Amino acid sequence: MTDRIASGFHPFVLPFLIGMAFVLSYCLFGMIRIILQLSKEDRRKFFMSLITPKILLKDVKDIFLNCLIHVKLWKRNPVLGYMHSSIAFGWFMLIVLGHIEVILFVPARAKLLYYPIFFNYFVSENETTLRGAVLFFLMDFFLLVVLSGIALAIIKRFRSRLFGMRRTTKPAALDLVGLYSLWAIFPLRLIAESLTADISGGSFLTLPSNWLAHLFMGHELYPLPAWWAYSIALCIFMCVLPFTRYMHIPAEMMLIPMRNAGLKIRNLNKGFAKVEVLSCPGCGVCIDACPMIASRSNVKDCTVYLNRQLRRGNDKRIDQISDKCLLCGKCQAVCQVGVQGPDLRVARRSTRGYGINQDYSNISATPLEKGHKVLYFSGCMSQLTPRIGKAVTAVMDKAGVDYEWMDRDGGLCCGRPILLAGRKEQARQLIAKNTELILASGADTLVVNCPICYRVFREEYNLPGVRVVHHSEFFAELVSKGMLSPQNGIGKICYHDPCELGRGCGVYDAPRELLSRCGTLVKAGHEKELSICCGGSLGSLSLNFSQREAITRNSYADLTVADPDVIATACPLCLSTYSRYADRPVMDIAEILMNQQ
Amino acid sequence: MMDFGFVLSKSSTVDLNKVDLSMYRQLEKLSPDVRTCMACGSCSATCTAAPYSGMSVRKVILGLQRGNDVSAMLSNCMLCGKCTMVCPRGINTRNLILNLCRIHETGGRNDR
């Protein structure tokens, strides 16, 4: 393999160089800017994580598995997984192999950035070696892999249903430019390499097509236009990249180390949140996942569109989208990149100024009776469904638990609803008041039957020496200790995973274990982290009663696919929401347990 | 006058000449469903903040319609959302309260 062109340069590499210089400098400046925007503490955390070998190793592993191989996507949808990893990993291998070729055959050119990309144009094969043949084979192989991915991508664009996606994102104009140029790059590369294959050498893909080209175009081939076109396609793709969804490629490589460093969303337009928004690939998986699409008018309120509007800075739409969301967290659960849709929205809500800022300093809650080991907190929602409180206390009485009902006659709110409305300061006041009450009582266990309260107790409260448990976990423990022995006999039960308990706190098994002792558990259409929000969520500020109905009916229909006798849930809000439209009994776990004693 | 044990009050509870409805008008724009309130008081009955600040969405709405200052009542609202769940008219009272807290900043701060 020798250099064919003495100068090692041809003007057709210029478009590529321009595009490359632009995208690299854009990303570099963007990266510096974002790091500067981080708070001092966050920046220290980030840099420390980069010099901690364990986290660094995790960064490299995560980037390789998620950005190149797309492991998460493979697990969810193998065809889409193949499509993405073939393009990403195939392209990556083409670049790596290109560099290897340059280093092996023309080491003098190794410092030229464009050489590995246009290697086949600049060299001629003077003798066939095994080493060269293997490399050429690999190059053709990975080109074929990428081309197969592109073919799938083209089919997906027009028939997304074939790939298991009912709805996909409507691309913006510039996204289309990026998309078409990306589609064009690899077929053009194939044509260009084929036309020079008789000079530079090739393998199973380029040599036969070179032969074909000779067959149709005669002895003299004119490869230059193809090389120009290939270079220009690369240039267009790289020049529009920062302004399209393809920005997720560089952004995700930054997001992974930042997330592994433990950064959280603070300011919506700066730092970590910005990286997260840019990392959204706009695939639209969150659209099918969103419970709100039960009515079609809500499609444009999914997380993918929030990210798009955040990039555009369309304040009015950002507000509308942020206020509407139920914050059920399903988009985050299915997102390949792990964009924290709910947290982004709450961050947006918290930027609002209010003329009336609630203040609870005038409230002096009555201290609790001391000497009980267990505190029971039923929460605001359970006051609308008193049968849950009755059932919980009846079960605890039966098991002989020594408890004190904290808010039997009403009490303070746990603080989560106001936190979801983005009013952190107010939530902090409520949290402080409740913390004081709980710690003063001297109890060592806090039983909560409302997942909304449960989540805030776990995430935001600091209760040293107090174990916070959801009543389903608490009862499961009592059953395993033999203090409760439920009879099996209620029939078929379908369990609905409340968002805050399942996706929010990761409690999936305790309720199922309890219910399987009371009856026969049947499956819902979507379970566990894919469960569909009941539509009653306090997360949404602007959805009104009638808009929620479609969501509830859709979610309820998903629970009744196996025709259960009873719908069970572990959340007072889900219970009252479903009860409105239910055609069979909807019961809390505690009630079922009480009935089956 | 003979004492019957009760008297009729003057019909001057609301003087429409003096009333300032700007706050209510602003709220109507943001939460049009406020117009459907029939003052049943379900919201008041369930309110978590009622024992502390006398909060009652019913009174808040009536107060606004009469041009009164309602900010004291709102000061203990915990946004728990029970009022929204029990409203027989399906009014999104939780959002109404948030909107009201917001209007106080932008507009009628000096509304008596």
- Residue B72 near chain A (CB below 8 Å): no
Residues of B in contact with A415 (CB under 8 A): 78
What is the per-residue pLDDT for B13? 66
Residue of B nearest to A543 (CA): B92
What is the per-residue pLDDT for A575? 95
Residue A335, φ and ψ in degrees, nearest 5: -70, 135
- Are the Cβ atoms of B80 and A417 closer than 8 angstroms? yes
Whole-angstrom Cα distance, residue A426 to residue A112? 59
Whole-angstrom Cα distance, residue A288 to residue A322? 18
Query: ipTM of the predicted structure?
Result: 0.84
pLDDT grade for B105, boundaries at 50, 70 and 90: low
Note the residue count of chain B.
112
Residues of A in contact with B104 (CB under 8 A): 354-356
- Inter-chain contacts counted by CB atoms under 8 A, chains A and B: 102
Q: Is A173 exposed, middle or buried (0-12, 13-18, 19+ CB in 10 A)?
A: exposed
The single residue listed with the structure tokens 């393999």 is A1
pLDDT in tens, B9-23: 766 567 778 888 889
- Are the Cβ atoms of B101 and A355 closer than 8 angstroms? yes
- Are the Cβ atoms of B48 and A410 closer than 8 angstroms? yes
The single residue listed with the structure tokens 């023309």 is A106
What is the per-residue pLDDT for A144? 95
What is the per-residue pLDDT for A505? 94
The single residue listed with the structure tokens 């790059």 is A185
Backbone Cα Rg of chain A: 30
Task: Name the residue among A358, A384, A536 with its Cβ closest to that of B77.
Answer: A358
- Are the Cβ atoms of B92 and A544 closer than 8 angstroms? yes
The secondary structure of A376-426 as a DSSP string is: EE-HHHHHH-HHHHHHHHHHHHHHT--EEETTTT-----SHHHHHTT-HHH
What is the per-residue pLDDT for B109? 36
- Maximum distance among all alpha carbons in chain B? 52
pLDDT grade for B106, boundaries at 50, 70 and 90: low
Task: Name the residue among B82, B103, B109 with its Cβ closest to that of A380.
Answer: B82
Beta carbons of A347 and A322 less than 8 angstroms apart: no
Residues of A in contact with B98 (CB under 8 A): 354, 421, 541
- Are the Cβ atoms of A356 and B98 closer than 8 angstroms? no
In the predicted model, is pLDDT for residue B107 greater than 80? no
Residue of A nearest to B30 (CA): A542
- Are the Cβ atoms of B105 and A354 closer than 8 angstroms? yes
- Are the Cβ atoms of A423 and B33 closer than 8 angstroms? no
pLDDT grade for B110, boundaries at 50, 70 and 90: very low
Beta carbons of A59 and A260 less than 8 angstroms apart: yes
Residue of B nearest to A383 (CA): B46
- Beta strands A403-405 and A445-448 are unpaired
Q: How far is CA A87 from CA A17, A72, A180, A339, in A?
A: 22, 16, 14, 22
Beta carbons of A568 and A494 less than 8 angstroms apart: yes
What is the per-residue pLDDT for B12? 59
Residue of A nearest to B47 (CA): A380
Query: Along the 597 residues of chain A, how does pLDDT read in single tens digits?
Result: 788 888 888 999 999 999 999 999 999 999 999 999 999 999 999 999 999 999 999 999 999 998 888 888 888 888 888 999 999 999 999 999 999 999 988 888 888 889 999 999 998 888 778 888 899 999 999 999 999 999 999 998 888 888 877 777 888 889 999 999 999 999 999 999 999 988 888 889 999 999 999 999 888 888 899 999 999 999 999 999 999 989 999 999 999 999 999 998 888 888 899 999 999 988 888 998 999 998 888 989 999 999 999 998 899 999 999 999 999 999 999 998 889 999 999 999 998 888 888 899 888 877 888 888 899 999 999 999 999 999 999 999 999 999 999 888 888 999 999 999 999 999 999 999 999 999 988 899 999 999 999 999 999 999 999 999 999 999 999 999 999 888 888 899 999 999 999 999 999 999 999 999 999 999 999 999 999 999 999 999 999 888 999 999 999 999 999 999 999 999 999 999 999 999 999 999 999 999 887
Who contacts A75 (Cβ-Cβ below 8 Å, separation ≥6)?
A81
What is the nearest CA distance from B26 to chain A, expressed in angstroms?
A: 14
What is the per-residue pLDDT for A460? 93
- Are the Cβ atoms of B48 and A359 closer than 8 angstroms? no
Helix axes A13-37 and A224-240, enclosed angle (nearest 10)? 10
Task: Name the residue among A384, A411, A536 with its Cβ closest to that of B46.
Answer: A384
pLDDT grade for B112, boundaries at 50, 70 and 90: very low
Who contacts A321 (Cβ-Cβ below 8 Å, separation ≥6)?
A300, A301, A305, A306, A309, A345
Whole-angstrom Cα distance, residue A148 to residue A155? 11
Domains and CATH numbers, chain B: 22-106 (1.10.1060.10)
What is the per-residue pLDDT for A110? 85
What is the per-residue pLDDT for B8? 78
Whole-angstrom Cα distance, residue A331 to residue A309? 17
Identify the bridge partners of residue A443 per DSSP, sorted by sequence position: none
